Each structure stands twice: as structure tokens, then as C-alpha cells.
């Protein structure tokens, strides 16, 4: 079976429908983020994948990045709970416009229909193929939707 990818329209539509169910009352099943922080975190990540923001590679990523990516994408298994992230993706402010952030996430997710970001380099994993990006973005999105029961 092929891995799910954000580049597949049906998969993207499914994610967008799930994102659409999020609201002020959505609560985390695990982790430290509230709904606003998670939405903002995911928007920062999408902006990176879509080439709107760039982050420098971290040292540990240069050593373990390729192995970690291979391990994450080896099967359909969802990302593990409380997976680490870069400080750049930790949202400190605890409140904001949940609806605006949710709508932005939907709009950014729709942009994968016309994806073009050759030479993309992830802050931890390094250079990724379009196929790897599609699969990882799906897993990251699914991870946070599961976190908030959507």
C-alpha cells in the first residue's frame, strides 16, 4: 500500500475536512500545546515546506536527520506522541484568533496542489525529495489532528 501524501487531492481534502472541525473548544489529548499554539505551530511548518520561510539546519540533524526521516517514513505508523520540535516552532503566546489560524492552515494545505519548492532543506532532516515532503507533511498534520481528536 502506498503511503499517504499531502500531494494526493483526496488525502488533502480529508485533512482539510479534519482541520475544519477544530475550534476554540478543541482540547489536546497529549502534549503541552493548546489549540491556538498547535494551529500556529502547524502554520509555521507549512510555511517552511511551501518555501515561504527558511530555517538553518541544526547540528544534531546533520548527524541523525537522514536516519530519523527514513525511520519516520518507513511505514504508515503515526508519529509518536510528544515528538521533539525545533525551538523555532514552539509557540510561546497562549492565545490568539483560533478561527483565523485554522483558516490559514486550510489555505496553506490547499497550496500543496501547486507545490514547487525544489532544493528544499528541512531544519533537521536536510534535503528531502518531493515524495518525502508529501508523506512527512501528511504525517505531521495527522499527528496534530489526532492530538486534538480531529
- Give dist(CA 76, CA 62) in Å, integer: 25
pTM: 0.96
In the chain, the number of structural domains is 1
User: Residue 118 and residue 33: Cα distance in Å, rounded?
Assistant: 31
Dist CA 18 CA 23 (whole Å): 11
pLDDT in tens, 95-135: 999 999 999 999 999 999 999 999 999 999 999 999 999 99
Q: Does 25 map to a domain?
A: no
CA atoms within 13 A on the CB side of 74: 7
46 occurs within a structural domain:
yes
| Residues spanned by the domain of 35 | 9-20+30-147
pLDDT tens digits along 43-101: 999 999 999 999 999 999 999 999 999 999 999 999 999 888 999 999 999 999 999 99
Within a domain: residue 4? no
In a domain, 53, yes or no: yes
Residue whose C-alpha cell reads 511505514 in the numeric block:
75
Please report whether residue 68 resides in a domain.
Answer: yes
Task: Give the pLDDT confidence of 84-99 residue by residue, as tens digits.
Answer: 899 999 999 999 999 9
Is residue 45 assigned to a domain?
A: yes
Amino acid at each position: 500500500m502506498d503511503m499517504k501524501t499531502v500531494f494526493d487531492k483526496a488525502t488533502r481534502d480529508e485533512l482539510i475536512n479534519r482541520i475544519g472541525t477544530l475550534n476554540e473548544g478543541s482540547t489536546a489529548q497529549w502534549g503541552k500545546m493548546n489549540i491556538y499554539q498547535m494551529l500556529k505551530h502547524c502554520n509555521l511548518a507549512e510555511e517552511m515546506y511551501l518555501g515561504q520561510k527558511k530555517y538553518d539546519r541544526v547540528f544534531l540533524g546533520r548527524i541523525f536527520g537522514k536516519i530519523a526521516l527514513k525511520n519516520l517514513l518507513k511505514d504508515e505508523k503515526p508519529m509518536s506522541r510528544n515528538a521533539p520540535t525545533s525551538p523555532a516552532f514552539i509557540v510561546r503566546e497562549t492565545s490568539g484568533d483560533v478561527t483565523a489560524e485554522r483558516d490559514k492552515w486550510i489555505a496553506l494545505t490547499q497550496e500543496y496542489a501547486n507545490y514547487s519548492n525544489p532544493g528544499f532543506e528541512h531544519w533537521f532532516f536536510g534535503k528531502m525529495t518531493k515524495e518525502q515532503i508529501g508523506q512527512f507533511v501528511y504525517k505531521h498534520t495527522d499527528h496534530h489532528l489526532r492530538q486534538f481528536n480531529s
